[in-house]
Structure 1
Amino acid sequence: MSTSILEQEINEQPLAIQRLLDNETEHVRRLAASLRGRFDYVLIAARGTSDNAARYAQYAFGVYNRLPVALATPSLFTLYDRPPLLNGALVVGISQSGQSPDIGAVISEARRQGRPTLAITNDPASPLAQAAEEVIPLHAGPERAIAATKTYTTSLTTLALLSAALAADEQRYAQLRQLPDLMRQTLTGLAPLMARAERYRYMGHCVVIGRGYNFATAFEIALKIKELTRAVAEPYSSADFRHGPIAMVGRGFPTLVVAPTDTVADDLRSLVSDLKDLGAELLVISEDEVLLSQAQLPLPLPPHIPAWLTPLVAVLPGQCFSLALAQAKGLNPDQPVGLKKVTETL
């Protein structure tokens, strides 16, 4: 079987992250210095995969910078023409293409209100980049597959880098430099497991569960499963899942749990135990051998990943699983039905 474009781009991610860090670390240091004291919270405008990256920022900036992070409602700026007052906000637009008018509208209005604005995009010449006061290019290189992979992980890296820079945290800079090797280790370890995705060829629905930093990962993996395999995949935090949706689970119900070792690990271990008792079909992303041993499909991570960076590594098994399942179903992973690379919404 020939290698798909998507598979090539999944495997390019360690190099893309290295390129981003090499090109933008000093720029982001200077940018952070210029932003300190100019804002009290962060408002992020994004859609799709970029919106999932914004969910990661809610935890990274919350834990390390003590900053509230809100997700913008672009329709207020476009269809309703009633933009909120943005006093105290740093307004960030995230878009791989930089083409969507609604994200640009949020940035333009923020700039009109005199707020600091930042575009994070793979196209530094895009309308979004032109609308913003500052731009951080993703350096992901051309992304030809419809489903975003390397622009997602480079967006996460950019947000992680900005968080570290705002805190002037040298230890976290050093941890960021470990990422390319951690990602390579993960991808190498996953390769022999992907043939087992055939087991899920007739899967029509599943849930994806994470919490904390990896709440974003649950959303992104669920999106990739939907885009690539046409299965209905619903993302949940482990806390929200216990508040009702767990009633769906019966024998053989596919449940993917993102459970790297961090502050929320005990909660996820407890949930996995309960799901096993309910007879769920468990797919587990973790470095915890006990958790992996409870899964029908264990998806291992390397040990010793800094907790705040686990989303950059833990998403890789989800990307690879979605690709392998699409191929097992006879679907084209490079051109999912009904999708296009650049989506422009108002």
Structure 2
Amino acid sequence: MKQLGAIMSSEIAQTPTVFSAILENVDAFDSVKDVLVEQKIQSVLILARGTSDNAAHYLKYLIETQIGLPVGLTSPSSVTIYNSQLKYKNTLVIAISQSGQSPDLVHFATAAREANAYLISMTNDESSPLAKIAHHHFSLLAGPELAVAATKSYNAQLLVSYLLVCSWTGKKVNAAQIIAEAQRIATDAGLVAKAVVNTTRNNEIVILGRGFAYPNAREAALKIQETCKISVQGLSTADYLHGPISALTADTQVFIVAPAHMPAQSIVEATTKIRKTSNRIFWIGNGGTPSGDDIVLAGSNCDDEITSNLVDAMVLQRFAMEFAVASGFDPDAPEGLSKVTLTH
């Protein structure tokens, strides 16, 4: 009899190997280290869908905070449905996709390049249409990913995004630490066990994060929705205070993504207000301020918030997978989903 979640579990555990492969190939990023200057780039747009869109938010924060260029997320339907004529001179478009096949992404990328954009893509298939369209393509080197819910490919997208920006800033990468922390988390059998047994599908689940933690909050919510058949919100702590907190009850289960070295003041206002109503708080990562009966899903201890966050993605994936299994679902093959989603 097939073990529920066996494939997803195996693919999450492969993350350290994927990280090693990418970091061993770090010289590949030298090919684009001067592209911002050579192409006189004035703005950046990121093209992605689904899980890759959450990785896009991470890359967006990286570029905005480390380089200072304005970064936006594309609207593929502006081309595929509304036939907009793009004007992308001095614009860098970065396409992120596991498969590199979705027609709307390929259509938009083609239109962007025809509109004089400089195009970089990252996919898990070097022969994919999105890889071939780009001026430069970076492979995720994740190998075949069979579980419907993307895990190791998302983690690879985070790392490739980080290395891409490091090639522009000249920042030294602590490869050994990233790999070691990923290995440590991968081998921690009881990493999320306490959180799983203390979480119920019967009450609302909210996942919150801010800054570099926000993309993982979105991804955690998506993974739980994909694998556990429940609706989950993934929000910025700031956005949560602008309305959704009104739905907070004493039974709401609030997960706060808090990587090591996260600026503590970034979430103080939100956590203070949440504690007035609910004491069902779970922390993902080592940068939170747990108290009382809070439950901590311990994360990585990398040098900074940025790298801690990319390793901590494994923690949220483990929780979604084990929570799905505990709920009687097979996270390897959720109903209604396919591995490659083709949207137009």
Query: TM-score band (shorter)?
Result: over 0.9
Structure 1 residue 128, shift from structure 2 partner: 0.9
Aligned to 1:336: 334
Aligned to 2:317: 319
Aligned to 1:102: 104
SS class of match (2:58)? helix
Aligned to 1:239: 238
User: What does the per-residue CA deviation read over 1:42-84, in whole Å, with 9 as the maximum and x for residues that have no partner?
Assistant: 1111000000001001111111111211100000111111143
Aligned to 2:94: 92
Aligned to 1:137: 139
Q: How many residues are matched?
A: 341
User: What does the per-residue CA deviation read over 1:74-121, in whole Å, with 9 as the maximum and x for residues that have no partner?
Assistant: 001111111432122111111100110111112111221222111100
Question: In the aligned structure 2, how far is the partner of 1:105 from the partner of 1:30?
Answer: 25
Question: In the aligned structure 2, how far is the partner of 1:272 from the partner of 1:60?
Answer: 25
Question: Match for 2:231: what amino acid?
Answer: V
Aligned to 1:62: 64
Question: In the aligned structure 2, how far is the partner of 1:294 from the partner of 1:151?
Answer: 36
> Retained in 2: the 8 A contact 1:214–1:310?
no
> Retained in 1: the 8 A contact 2:237–2:267?
yes
Aligned to 1:27: 28
Bigger mean CA offset, 293-302 vs 100-109 = 293-302
Q: 1:164 aligns with which of 163, 166, 186?
A: 166
Question: In the aligned structure 2, how far is the partner of 1:242 from the partner of 1:192?
Answer: 30
Question: In the aligned structure 2, how far is the partner of 1:304 from the partner of 1:166?
Answer: 21
- Structure 1 residues 74 and 193: alpha-carbon distance in aligned structure 2, compared to 1, 3 A threshold: closer
Alignment of 1:139-288 (within 5 A): 139-169=141-171, 171=172, 173=173, 175-189=174-188, 191-194=190-193, 196-203=195-202, 205-262=204-261, 264-288=263-287
> Retained in 2: the 8 A contact 1:283–1:297?
yes
SS class of match (1:44)? strand
Question: Match for 1:84: what amino acid?
Answer: L
Question: In the aligned structure 1, how far is the partner of 2:279 from the partner of 2:231?
Answer: 16
Question: In the aligned structure 1, how far is the partner of 2:292 from the partner of 2:182?
Answer: 24
Aligned to 2:19: 17
> Retained in 2: the 8 A contact 1:161–1:176?
no
Question: In the aligned structure 1, how far is the partner of 2:239 from the partner of 2:207?
Answer: 12
Question: In the aligned structure 1, how far is the partner of 2:129 from the partner of 2:273?
Answer: 48
> Retained in 2: the 8 A contact 1:249–1:278?
yes
> Retained in 2: the 8 A contact 1:43–1:92?
yes
Question: In the aligned structure 1, how far is the partner of 2:57 from the partner of 2:253?
Answer: 24
- Structure 1 residues 85 and 340: alpha-carbon distance in aligned structure 2, compared to 1, 3 A threshold: same
Structure 1 residue 287, shift from structure 2 partner: 1.4
Identity of aligned residues (%): 31
User: What does the per-residue CA deviation read over 1:297-344, in whole Å, with 9 as the maximum and x for residues that have no partner?
Assistant: 310123344112232122222111111110011101100110000011
What TM-score, normalized to structure 2?
0.93
Question: In the aligned structure 1, how far is the partner of 2:93 from the partner of 2:212?
Answer: 21
Structure 1 residue 295, shift from structure 2 partner: 5.0
> Is 1:121 the counterpart of 2:111 in the alignment?
no
Aligned to 1:78: 80
Alignment of 1:278-317 (within 5 A): 278-288=277-287, 291-294=289-292, 296-317=294-315
> Retained in 2: the 8 A contact 1:292–1:299?
no
What TM-score, normalized to structure 1?
0.93
> Retained in 2: the 8 A contact 1:36–1:166?
no
- Structure 1 residues 37 and 203: alpha-carbon distance in aligned structure 2, compared to 1, 3 A threshold: farther
Question: Match for 1:78: what amino acid?
Answer: T
Structure 1 residue 261, shift from structure 2 partner: 3.9
- Structure 1 residues 64 and 87: alpha-carbon distance in aligned structure 2, compared to 1, 3 A threshold: same
Stretches of structure 2 that go unaligned for 5 or more consecutive residues are none
